[in-house]
Structure 1
Amino acid sequence: MAASKVAAALKQLLPAELPPSLQSRSGSLYSVLSRYPKDGVGQHVHQIRWNTKGIADSYWLITRTKLKLEGQHGKVWGKLVWRGKTINIREVRIPGGLKYDWKQGASRGKPQGTQAAATTLS
């Protein structure tokens, strides 16, 4: 009985959702990396379009950043891991920082809802 009272009290103290700086949102490469300490060095990021194309377990490992204008522009270097295999041994400059939407973490392939919709249409 006491444990349920403690859990109820904790629910009242904790916010319903994470603050914007801690939410996993998409955006330009620079805006995503600017949310992390050291401007995202050591983070894994991927382009959102990789998920819709069915490309799984792919990401850039960020090794160096030079962000400008509070994370709106900059230069980013990293190592590409493509479908679980490291492609670049040396760091290279990452293209498409403003052109595509990016998200933290590795790509997961096609979302579950897309596969179900495709089978019902066939």
Structure 2
Amino acid sequence: MSASKVASALKSLLPAELPPSLQSRSGSLYSVLSRYPKDGVGQRVHQTRWSMKNIADSYWLVTRTKLKSEGQHGKVWGKLVWKGKEVNAQETRIPGGLKYTWKQGASRGKPQAIEEAVVPPTPAQASS
């Protein structure tokens, strides 16, 4: 059997994409948490806009959930970690569950481009 036939046979066995429950997609807070066991209790979630604003290592640690309408609405409580430091020891209700786009994990911040400083040569360097 040739290599191309083996490759085509393998492609037919593999799914074209991961099932929705295994995909790391963003969405409302409730739809993100509904993909996990126990409705996401114990998961870290963050608003995607935090990464766009270059806010790194910030997330909500989910402690309690009450989801309804098949994970489209509900109430979620957790503890906020902001820039690596726990803000409050008590659990609080997480705001903006439908208003913002959420993703699993901690925020990362934008990768900053490394700019090489263009330094004009000194007169001693220019003459040599």
Same fold (TM over 0.5): yes
Long gaps (5+) in structure 2: 1-6, 116-128
Identity of matched residues, %: 83
- Runs of 4 or more, structure 1, over 2 Å off, are 11-17
- One-letter amino acid matched to 2:45: V
* Structure 1 position 16, deviation (Å): 4.5
Q: Deviations for 1:90-113, whole angstroms, at most 9, x for unmatched residues? A: 100000000000000000001x4x
Map of 1:55 onto structure 2: 55
Q: Secondary structure at 2:27's aligned position in 1?
A: coil
TM-score, normalization: structure 2?
0.77
Map of 2:90 onto structure 1: 90
Q: Whose Rg is larger?
A: 2
Q: Secondary structure at 1:32's aligned position in 2?
A: helix
Structure richer in helix, relative to its length: 1
Q: Is 1:29 the counterpart of 2:29 in the alignment?
A: yes
Map of 1:81 onto structure 2: 81
The separation in 1 between residues aligned to 2:88 and 2:14, in whole angstroms, is 42
* Structure 1 position 17, deviation (Å): 3.0
- One-letter amino acid matched to 2:90: R
Q: Deviations for 1:72-122, whole angstroms, at most 9, x for unmatched residues? A: 100000000000000010100000000000000000001x4xx44xx6xxx
| Number of residue pairs the alignment of both structures matches | 110
The separation in 2 between residues aligned to 1:98 and 1:28, in whole angstroms, is 5
Map of 2:104 onto structure 1: 104
TM-score, normalization: structure 1?
0.81
Long gaps (5+) in structure 1: 1-7
